[in-house]
Structure 1
Amino acid sequence: MASSSKEPAAGRSKTVKLTGPEQVALFLKELEHPLKDEIEEVRKIILSAADDITEQIKWNAPSFCYNRQDRVTMNLQGKGCFRLIFHTGVKVKEAAATEPLFTDTSGLLEWITGDRAVVKITDNTDNTDLELKRAKLAALVARRMKETVQS
């Protein structure tokens, strides 16, 4: 998906870079996914978790940043589910934590490494999976963003 568009200006083409929210809005508008409604709802939950969370398209999916650092990225490749990848950014840390960066009191995170965890949102016809996770997810995102700001 392109993150810029061409506009004619006095016989020339000018590239206009889309803002992060514009990138995500266009991406979601064009997205064909069985859990599109849930994906859009999770986007709202994440953005409402803290005032200074921003968004962009990274790795062909919505990614959410805190202090200009990617912290949560959607993985939309699953069948009957999608995942939220909680991480400390794109660069591999030399001394990546072997223990989780913090204690997950929500029970939502599945730790892959000490600095990378996953929350899985599953497909269900009555939407209870997301509804059950909504409050915990918002609190988890807010905490994760603030606690990993130095990571």
Structure 2
Amino acid sequence: MSKTKLTDQEEVTMHIEKLEPGLRDIIRELRQIILSSDPEVGERIKWNNPSFFYTGEMKPFDPKEYKREIIVFNLFKGRIMLVFPSGAKVNDTTGFLEGDYKDGRRIHVFKDMDDVRSKEKNLQKIITDWLKLVDK
């Protein structure tokens, strides 16, 4: 019998379904917000967590630069951290993106579902602003 390889979306769904119920609902909501930001945002499991990336055409680049990566979840010990690997390139005047890492990443930590819902527009604006900077 041959095993059917799961799609990236199915892998993300399976990963989320294995989470603790309270965390699972928040991650589902964040997933929907992120994916609804733009049709060229795709998802997959990367670094053992849901990850969101630009699916469109880009100029060639060194894969170690992670130029496609928009957001990677960090759910270590139930924390809801979104890592924006190249978040420093986005001009965020809202304070949504936190940290000043030398590698250009920025983060945002959500506390709960109310926090997610109150910051939905900020998250979507960060994503759309990031997409405008893609080197096509």
- Conserved 8 A contact 2:17-2:24: no
Taking the TM superposition and a 5 Å limit, the aligned residue runs for 1:44-123 are: 44-67=32-55, 69-79=68-78, 81-88=79-86, 100-113=88-101, 115-123=104-112
- The residue aligned with 1:8 is none
- Conserved 8 A contact 1:56-1:64: yes
Task: Tell me the distance in 1 between the aligned counterparts of 2:32 and 2:80.
Answer: 15
State the identity %: 33
- Of structures 1 and 2, the one with the larger relative CO (CA 8 A, separation 6+) is 2
- The residue aligned with 2:129 is 143
- The gaps in structure 2 that reach 5 residues or longer are 57-67
User: What is the CA RMSD across the aligned residues, in angstroms?
Assistant: 2.1
- The gaps in structure 1 that reach 5 residues or longer are 1-12, 89-99
Task: Tell me the distance in 1 between the aligned counterparts of 2:23 and 2:6.
Answer: 25
Task: Tell me the distance in 1 between the aligned counterparts of 2:105 and 2:21.
Answer: 25
- Conserved 8 A contact 1:112-1:118: no
- Conserved 8 A contact 1:62-1:73: yes
Structure with the larger strand share? 1
Higher radius of gyration, 1 or 2: 1
2:120 counterpart of 1:131: no
- TM-score, normalising length: structure 1: 0.72
Classify the secondary structure of the residue corresponding to 2:39: coil
- TM-score, normalising length: structure 2: 0.79
- Conserved 8 A contact 1:83-1:121: yes
> 1:150 Cα deviation (Å)?
2.9
